[in-house]
Structure 1
Amino acid sequence: MAGSTGGTGSSNPSSAPPPPKILLAKPGLVTGGPVAGKFGRGGATDDETASLRSRLPSIGSLNLLSDSWDFHIDRFLPFLTENTDFMVVGVIGPTGVGKSIIMNELYGFDASSPGMLPPFATQTEDTRAMARHCTVGIEPRISAERIILLDTQSVFSPSVLAEIMRPDGSSTISVLGGESLSAELAHELMSIQLGVILASICNVLLVVSEGVHDYSMWRLMLTVDLLKHGIPDPSSILPSHSQSSNLGPEKENKDKVHKSEEYMAAPVFVHTKLDDQDLSPRDFSQLRKAILHYFNMSSFMRDKSRNMSKGQPLSSMASGMQSNDPDFTWPDLFVIPRKSKDDFPRAQYESYFSTLCKLRDQVLSMNCPPFARTVSERDWLKNSAKIWELVKTSPVIAEYSRTLQSSGLSNLSRR
């Protein structure tokens, strides 16, 4: 599998391993009939989906990162195996840009599956009207191809800020090891921490923006690149004794970090909801050059040279757009048109759904950066929890926070 961490599906080839569990959507209340196929392309409305979800029995949260900003692994761990041939794909972006829709496509959700809802809940008309977010922390799923998908809480979200703000303006969530912060600063640091953990534990990170003129996600990722120093990948933590899911402070101190080149997930820049006038090859080329210029001095450029062997970059444009410029192999960029009711291609441009399909095919076949060492799915999860503790106690991020406090600067998305 492209982007695998190496190895085979079982650490003991002499015995047949138990069949792996696949983390699917919650089952619906019906198993057939017209409702069964309503949740895919051209299917049920958002409100119908929300109505069915509201009638489902609660099975508890599977979120890795909770609304209290703590990392939990117990509920997700049973779905993982000792398999070492897997890929981790994460997504980050503001509210309403289509993150969950893209992740449902990568999962391979089939609308014809009887009684199944999409693996990741998407925005309804009500949540859009109330400016709410529908994903909290990090919500995981794992597909039949052993692709671990991490959908995430929106960054720069007014509803997240409102939820964590006390009447006095302080934050209800401790984002830096118990340090008291204003809600606005904590909100900004949460976006940075989310970007750092995803860049550390994923093979591929989808960076999603709306339109071609919103550069807030570029600024966030450049900040993530600057503040990620000292945060390893999940294969680089070498416990000095047998691992367990109990991650007490004394155990964390005994874990050793394998020294290797600083790891960074391969970014794929996705710009959604584009109008026809922004979909021409010329506009696409200009957007690619802008990203290339913006990240010219970042570690993403260091990783670019490593990925040149894969030839053409991921692209939603036609394969006829060739170039002899070596920089053309980076960045990986997808532009997705605004969804239309009939979803027919307009003029020479591809349709919304065909572009989503192409994104899925190309992401899952990426030659993405492997982790430094071979690691199993279960160890990936256990070590990701330890990496989260390193993120929350990062002296680099803490110093950045103090600089913002002393200078009065905040609100990364507006700078």
Structure 2
Amino acid sequence: MAGTGGSSSSNQSAAPKILLAKPGLVTAGKFIRGGPADDDSSASSLRSRLPSIGSLNLLSDSWEFHTDRFLPFLTDNTEFTVVGVIGPPGVGKSTIMNELYGFDGTSPGMIPPFSIQSEETKAMARHCTVGIEPRISADRIILLDTQPIFSPSVLAEMIRPDGSSTISILNGESLSAELAHELMGIQLGVLLASICHIIVVVSEGFHDINMWHLMSTVDLLKHGIPDPSSPTLSHSQNPNLSSEKENKDKVQDGGEEYMAAPVFVHTKLRDQHLTPHNFVQLKKALGQYFRSSSFIGAKYKEHNFASVSPNILNGDPHSAELKIFAIPFKNKDDSPRAQYDSHTCLLWKLRDQVLSMNGPSFARTVSERDWLKNSAKIWELVKNSPIIAEYSRTLQTSGMFRR
């Protein structure tokens, strides 16, 4: 799938095949641009300029965006796709991203590109992913795994004894840790909606709509944030100084505001939930919830939800509808149900559907390297967004969060 609509045969032929493994377990010298044909001298020169894999986070634990560590892995190729994931702890975000990467966990000795929560991590109530961890596949799929939303462990790490946040979320404003934690999820969502082609939104079970609410808030607060191909980002040395009115003008000049395509995934479903009737009801509820949002095209907004066929369980990836996918709870032997596929088989189908989607293209052709550099500028716009700042003040005055 073309990431930006641009193409270049020369760029594609020169695109390196890079395998990024679990942080800290593989040295940078393992990754050789150009493939097996490279000689020892080129491999040696590469080792001297590539960073260690353990420091690739685009977004750090201090909520700062870093481009220098990941930039050497990107090229001037314009045919790429960016897929991000967002969701609460323990719902399988990293597992899904490993599947999208094409990781085969059945081969002995293979290390997954994204860390998966271990039993020890679960017992200690800790999270694996910090900020945003990127990986890029040989097919030039840029995958962005994010720290969990609504995470007690994230909140515990950022709260001071007086209740304030150790992390600056909004342009240096002093906020309570609870409010800062709430805004972190929104900022992550706005960033992914701006710099990705596809966002995988993961919830646990059929009845958890917290992620739906978060993405609805993201839709309301994203206005004025451009996509990474915007010429205003390339020409602006300090995007923080843009006013809200200027940002709105940029959106109007570029036509309809950019919004990544969401894929809503409900995981850990029990057998009694996996019925065509339940899935149709869930799909209707999703469509009605986002009926007026930017995530749905005009054609789907006019769709008669009552006419959804009960036979399109985990439906057509090319349809104009919102994409929703159901993943069952994994049995010990991962055996298929009487009527439904196994956990592993449905992960394969999810990968096929996501990677075959006709996601939105950025307004202009942009290279991988420029995408990364402009994404850093977009992050500054997000952190300094007057709309998100006003929303923060509204939450403060509501009495829901300590001051």
TM-score by length of 1: 0.81
2:42 — aligned with what? none
Q: Pick from 165, 170, 173: which aligns with 1:171?
A: 165
Do residues 300 (structure 1) and 291 (structure 2) align?
A: no
Shift of residue 407, structure 1, vs aligned partner: 1.3
Summarize the Cα distance change of 1:67–1:305 in structure 2 as closer, same or farther, 3 Å threshold. same
For 1:115-134, what aligned pairs fall within 5 Å after superposition? 115-134=109-128
> Is the alpha carbon distance of 1:88 and 1:29 closer, same or farther for their aligned partners in structure 2, counting shifts above 3 Å?
closer
CA contact (8 A) 1:27 1:115 kept: no
Q: 1:283 aligns with which of 278, 281, 287?
A: 278
> Retained in 1: the 8 A contact 2:132–2:145?
yes
Matches within 5 A, 1:166-245: 166-239=160-233
Q: Does 1:390 align with 2:381?
A: yes
Match among 360, 367, 379 for residue 376 of structure 1: 367
Quote the Cα distance in structure 2 between the aligned partners of 1:122 and 1:94. 14
Aligned residue identity for 1:22: I
Note if contact 1:225-1:298 (Cα within 8 Å) is conserved in structure 2.
Answer: yes
2: distance between equivalents of 1:179 and 1:219? Answer: 25
Does the 8 A contact of 2:22 with 2:114 survive in 1? no
How far did 1:3 drift? 4.4
CA distance in 2, matches of 1:165, 1:27: 26
In structure 2, do the counterparts of structure 1 residues 408 and 276 end up closer, same or farther at CA, with 3 Å as the change threshold? same
SS in structure 2 at match of 1:238: helix
Name 2:96's counterpart in structure 1: 102
2:155, 2:76 → 1: CA distance?
Answer: 39
Are residues 1:6 and 2:5 paired? yes
> Structure 1 pair 24/341, CA: closer, same or farther in 2 (3 Å)?
same
Q: Which moved more, 1:19-28 or 1:275-284?
A: 19-28
In the alignment of these two chains, the number of paired residues is: 366
Does the 8 Å CA contact 2:24/2:54 hold for their aligned counterparts? no
2:345 to 354, 358, 365: 354
Alpha-carbon offset, residue 4 of structure 1:
2.3
Whichever residue aligns with residue 5 of structure 1, its letter is T
Alpha-carbon distance in structure 2 between the residues aligned to 1:174 and 1:408: 21
Structure 1 contact 28–116 (Cα < 8 Å) conserved: no
Match of 1:265 in 2: 260
Counterpart Cα distance in 1 of 2:196 and 2:367: 14
Say which of 33, 54, 65 aligns to 2:59: 65
Q: 1:341 to 1:7 in 2, by over 3 A?
A: same
Cα–Cα, structure 1 residues 365 and 59, in superposed 2: closer, same or farther, change >3 Å?
A: closer
Alpha carbons of structure 1 residues 121 and 321: separation in structure 2 relative to 1, 3 Å: closer
Q: Please state how far the C-alpha of 1:382 moved relative to its aligned partner.
A: 0.5
* Structure 1 vs Structure 2 CA RMSD: 3.1
Q: Is the 8 A contact 1:23 1:79 kept in 2?
A: no
**Structure 1 residue 342, shift from structure 2 partner:** 1.2
For residues 24 and 56 of structure 2, the distance between their equivalents in structure 1, rounded to whole angstroms, comes to: 18
What percent identity do the matched residue pairs reach?
70
Check conservation: 1:211, 1:272, Cα contact below 8 A: yes
* Aligned partner of residue 297 in structure 1, secondary structure: coil
Could you list the per-position Cα deviations for residues 67-102 of structure 1 after superposition, in whole angstroms to 9, with x for gaps in the alignment?
000000111111111111110000000000000000
CA contact (8 A) 1:86 1:146 kept: yes
Q: Tell whether 2:20 aligns with 1:24.
A: yes
Asked whether the equivalents of residues 92 and 205 of structure 1 are also in contact (C-alpha less than 8 Å), the reply is yes
Deviation at 1:115, TM superposition (A): 3.9
Report how far residue 60 of structure 1 moved: 3.5
Name the aligned partner's letter for residue 272 of structure 2: Q
Structure 1 residues 362-393: Cα deviation after superposition (integer angstroms, max 9, x where no partner): 11111111111111111110000000000000
CA distance in 1, matches of 2:12, 2:82: 25
Code of the residue aligned with 1:376 in structure 2: it is: S
| CA separation of 1:128 and 1:5: change in aligned 2, threshold 3 A | same
Change (3 A) 1:402 1:142: same
* Structure 1 stretches of at least 4 aligned residues deviating more than 6 Å after TM superposition: 27-30, 250-256, 320-323
1:408: how far off? 1.1
**One-letter amino acid of the structure 1 residue matched with residue 101 of structure 2:** Y
Higher helix share: 2
Kept after mapping to 2: 8 A contact 1:27/1:116: no
TM-score (norm 2): 0.83
Q: For the structure 1 residues 293 and 335, does the alpha-carbon distance in structure 2 shift closer, same or farther, using more than 3 Å as the test?
A: same
The answer on whether the counterparts of 1:272 and 1:336 sit within 8 Å (CA) in structure 2 is yes
Distance 2:345 2:314 in 1: 18
SS in structure 1 at match of 2:186: helix
